[in-house]
Structure 1
């Protein structure tokens, strides 16, 4: 079989971010070879990335990302759900980002934190080449994962996210709760999958993220969208929704983001990743 000697923009970007997160270059090369890449080509790609040289990709001439109207963007500055009113604090069109107030009550935030404390485990990433979950230095938080509708509280939050975004609950992965202590962070990354890791039997590509802040952070811990110069300070009960996948199969590379290190106190967040199609649990 002929070895692969081309990469996509998405795979290149994921390799860059994976290297920044602390993964060993040799491990990335070995994984690429396992997936059918030519070994010499894989080493040359890593070398060019490390030395900041340009890389020709299969979609270097790909059309710019096509922005589409999202359901949430049509709802105005007050979004009414079945049990509360959500206030829109910030909007950005490219990439599509909206910052929302009053998403969770103080009591709901506290309950979710308490529910998660005893089930925290070191956070992992999905390797962009192998698809395996692994711990890396660039993601130093701890996390807890929940099944859809696992508890009454989880069901309430899932339903509210659905009513805010109009994405069906079944199109989303189960809620994840993350805890960051002082100095902990998640370096710049994309939430969508590289092309070779899209599994249509599991809902396909991620197209959006709903990130809820469960506490106020004394210093640090902002969510940074570095390509557009946006910094969002955590505020208890608020949420950030960002959309990065369209109906043409494109992904928005302006959605690159990070969680910078906590300087004082700690940080609690809950994440809902939304897929393009239903996930069969």
Structure 2
């Protein structure tokens, strides 16, 4: 099984060409492939497949390192677009719709390693995130062990919990990340984002992803953090988000508009996964 190893500012992927037939790997095989000691190593596995939606050029599947499926991946869709461009299937500067497990997204390849993506409009309705809460508010109180915290909840095609913090190196984050990801108020789990506000156009972010743990970057997490803060009026409509692996530019005018994410996509290496372990 041939694969491409790619990353978007350190959020790394194994990408498999499955345009001729849908990818079918059991969760234990995905976990073996994603293992950083005995496999290839990745945060997520991506497949490029024929579209289900006739309005889209391609479909891409997403699986977390633990073998569980995911609805969306912002850094991943940029890598998919860059891979398709290198394969000659997407032209530069031509807007194209491709289909994710959570629905279509618009992509445009700006250059061979930089892609902008229409991530859709952020979803704050608790039932659609999903997030179990009695009343929808902009800052939801939650209890994490002995700590009382406040979060913003939003879906960017996958569920996110966003918490504003003063210090991204605070030891409490090591507890709060896993606790938020598995919090019972998120029945499907959540990506836990911890955001530091540096200015109205500048954020710093760390994300603990469901199914993958702490990652170097999370594209949907950057979108979620910006959307939560934009809705509260704390940031402008164009924001740079610094993650451990690099920077993304997020633009959102507000309700009624779709959110755009722009950032790099890089190729690391090509390889072949032996059939006896695939």
With structure 2 as the length reference, what TM-score do the two structures score?
0.32
Q: TM-score, normalized by length of structure 1?
A: 0.32
Larger Rg: 1
